[in-house]
Homo-oligomer: A and B are copies of this chain.
Amino acid sequence: MELIRIYECLCDETRLRLLNILAQGPLCVCHFQEILREPQVKISKHLAYLRSRGLVECERQGNWMIYELPAKPSRELRTNLACLQDCAREHPAFQRDLARLQKLAPKLAATGPCGCATAKPAAR
């Protein structure tokens, strides 16, 4: 049942934080590291986990991997992501992450979801 796979993704704090950030738009791994302040392996593994269950999609852009929520989420996924948004809104931890994302906003506006100094502007 797909629903179970979705819930399995949602029962880890790191993954919830990732999804919360992704709700704002696509982003590359290095920025997740910056925002979550967690080691690269941890971020990368959790993104792989999310990807294996269809909660995120990714696309390489030069050296960077840009992750984003699925373009066409299933009804179940859509419903649950909305529910998560609703719940996350109140948690300081999630708010803090979004605040950190805001600080990156200028950079992101200039260079796209990667925003690394050396990266070229993204297509989208």
Contacts and interface: CB of A to CB of B under 8 A. Distances in A.
A70 B13 CA distance: 24
Given A79-B83, A87-B3, A11 B8 contact: yes
Interface size class of A (residues with CB under 8 A): 20 to 34
Contacts of A83: 79-80, 82-83
CB-CB nearest 9 A-B residue pairs: A7-B11, A83-B83, A7-B10, A8-B11, A76-B87, A7-B7, A3-B87, A79-B86, A11-B11
Interface of A is mostly: helix
A106 B7 CA distance: 35
A116 interface: no
Interface of A: 1, 3-4, 7-8, 10-13, 16, 75-76, 79-80, 82-83, 86-88, 90-91, 93
A91 B1 CA distance: 9
Given A83-B80, A87-B76, A4 B8 contact: no
A9 to B, nearest CB: 9
Contacts of A88: 3
A97 to B, nearest CB: 13
